């Protein structure tokens, strides 16, 4: 069995586990004498399927390692699939500590979405570039991803806490702000799903567009930019080589701004625009189906859950992840940077955002332990923190040019 089949199998099993947890939680709400016992059975089945999915995922990882001849964390597809595996491992560990079924309803979709997101990137095995040919690749990337995985579980629990405790019926300004913030978070998650669906849809339809980029000084090779999404934005001063019409659009609507620079900057801006369009459409459809804000539609699942337990899960997950992230993303990264580039620190965008992430979670732990920020304050910090993590992983790799841009190839 090849690695891609194992990853697809893990994706399916995770999805089944998620549905089992949903059934277990919704069944618990039934006013029947045996509903509690049946809910526990569904919860056991959910964690069993989660473990089976993780084993399939681990088999994918090691099979891919054998195929590539090096640890498969050298590009966006490999790293994001590894991060998803770490998220699932972190969820399984936290589940066995707290035995919280509802955590599966929120943590499993995070891993599933990350796998789906990873699948839009090229899956071909690629040789390691010289900068990555070091044993520090194994140490730095695996520990950094493990720390981020526990942050993901903390995010899931924090979002659970907010949905559980926010009053969706109040009309006071503070309540409206809370509901708006949670709904923006839901929109953020929906937009990621829409991005994946959009990429897969246009790939399946065979859409493509190609542009000739302006000549660069000292280069005799004509460079091109290829799009898999209809080009709303085209590269600055480029020429259309090929472009399939889409809903009457036969040419791009405008050029990328001259100040928007970096590798494939126009194509990335085009992708962001399409992601937002897809996110708005998908969110609108889900709102029409639910006939209420998505967070309010999910809220009934949380009744009967002790908010203090969820708050504790979020804090413990982040407390576990922080020292692991410190080792992987900062200490091991600086040692590797010193070996590879002759300096511990160079203000590369990825280095800067890793430091920002580390400082953010340091502030979280400080406010939690020294200032007594528990409950909603702690939950909001956990939710915002993981958005910072995702920008560090996605935004920096794909939008900001730097020494780590190879990860977006």
- 250-282 pLDDT, tens per residue? 888 888 877 666 556 788 788 888 889 999 999
pTM of the model: 0.85
Average pLDDT over all residues of the chain: 85
Reference 231, options 202, 205, 251, 206; nearest CA is: 251
Q: Residue 407 above 50 pLDDT?
A: no
State mean pLDDT over 320-327: 94
Give me the helix-helix angle, 173-204 and 376-390, nearest 10°. 30
On the CB side of 14, how many CA atoms lie within 13 Å of its CA?
A: 29
Q: Residue 372 above 70 pLDDT?
A: yes
Q: Residue 401 above 60 pLDDT?
A: no
Instruction: Tell me how far apart the alpha carbons of residues 80 and 126 are, in angstroms, rounded to a whole number.
Output: 15
Q: pLDDT value at position 406?
A: 47
Reference 354, options 191, 166, 143, 202; nearest CA is: 143
Reference 296, options 107, 172, 162; nearest CA is: 162
Structure tokens, 178? 């809370």
Expressed in percent and rounded to 5, the helix, strand and coil fractions of the chain are: 70, 5, 25
pLDDT-derived band at 219, boundaries 50, 70, 90: low
Q: Give the rounded percent of residues in the chain with a pLDDT score beyond 70.
A: 90
Q: pLDDT value at position 1?
A: 72
pLDDT-derived band at 403, boundaries 50, 70, 90: very low
- 55-85 pLDDT, tens per residue? 999 999 999 999 888 888 888 888 889 999 9
**Planar angle of CA 162, 167, 173, nearest 5 degrees:** 100
């Amino acid at each position: 069995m090849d690695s891609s089949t194992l990853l697809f199998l893990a994706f399916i099993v995770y999805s089944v586990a998620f549905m089992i947890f949903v059934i277990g939680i919704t069944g618990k709400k039934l006013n029947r004498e045996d509903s509690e016992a049946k809910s526990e059975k569904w919860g056991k089945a959910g964690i069993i399927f989660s473990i089976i999915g993780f084993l399939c995922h681990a088999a994918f990882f090691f099979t891919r390692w054998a195929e590539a001849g090096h640890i498969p964390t050298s590009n966006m597809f490999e790293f994001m699939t590894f991060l998803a595996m770490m998220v699932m491992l972190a969820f399984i560990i936290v589940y066995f500590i707290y035995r919280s079924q509802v955590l599966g309803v929120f943590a499993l979709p995070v891993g599933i979405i990350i796998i789906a997101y990873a699948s839009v990137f090229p899956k071909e095995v690629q040789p390691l570039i010289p900068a990555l040919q070091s044993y520090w690749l194994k140490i730095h990337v695996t520990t950094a991803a493990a720390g981020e995985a526990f942050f993901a579980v903390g995010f899931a629990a924090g979002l659970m806490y907010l949905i559980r405790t926010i009053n969706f019926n109040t009309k006071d300004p503070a309540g409206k702000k809370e509901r708006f913030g949670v709904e923006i978070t839901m929109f953020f998650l929906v937009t990621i799903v829409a991005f994946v669906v959009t990429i897969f849809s246009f790939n399946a339809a065979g859409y493509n567009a190609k542009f000739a980029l302006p000549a660069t000084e000292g280069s005799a090779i004509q460079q091109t930019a290829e799009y898999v999404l209809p080009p709303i934005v085209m590269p600055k001063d480029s020429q259309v080589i090929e472009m399939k019409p889409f809903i009457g659009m036969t040419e791009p609507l405008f050029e990328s701004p001259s100040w928007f620079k970096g590798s494939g900057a126009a194509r990335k801006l085009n992708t962001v625009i399409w992601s937002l369009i897809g996110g708005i459409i998908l969110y609108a459809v889900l709102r029409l189906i639910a006939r209420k804000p998505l967070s309010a539609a999910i809220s009934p699942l949380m009744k009967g859950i002790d908010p203090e337990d969820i708050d504790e899960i979020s804090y413990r997950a982040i407390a576990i992840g922080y020292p692991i992230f410190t080792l992987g993303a900062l200490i091991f990264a600086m040692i590797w940077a010193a070996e590879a580039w002759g300096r511990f620190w160079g203000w590369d965008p990825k280095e800067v955002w890793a430091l920002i992430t580390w400082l953010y979670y340091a502030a979280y732990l400080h406010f939690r332990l020294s200032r007594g920020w528990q409950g909603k304050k702690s939950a909001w910090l956990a939710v915002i923190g993981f958005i910072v993590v995702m920008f560090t992983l996605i935004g920096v790799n794909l939008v900001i040019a730097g020494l780590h841009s190879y990860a977006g190839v």
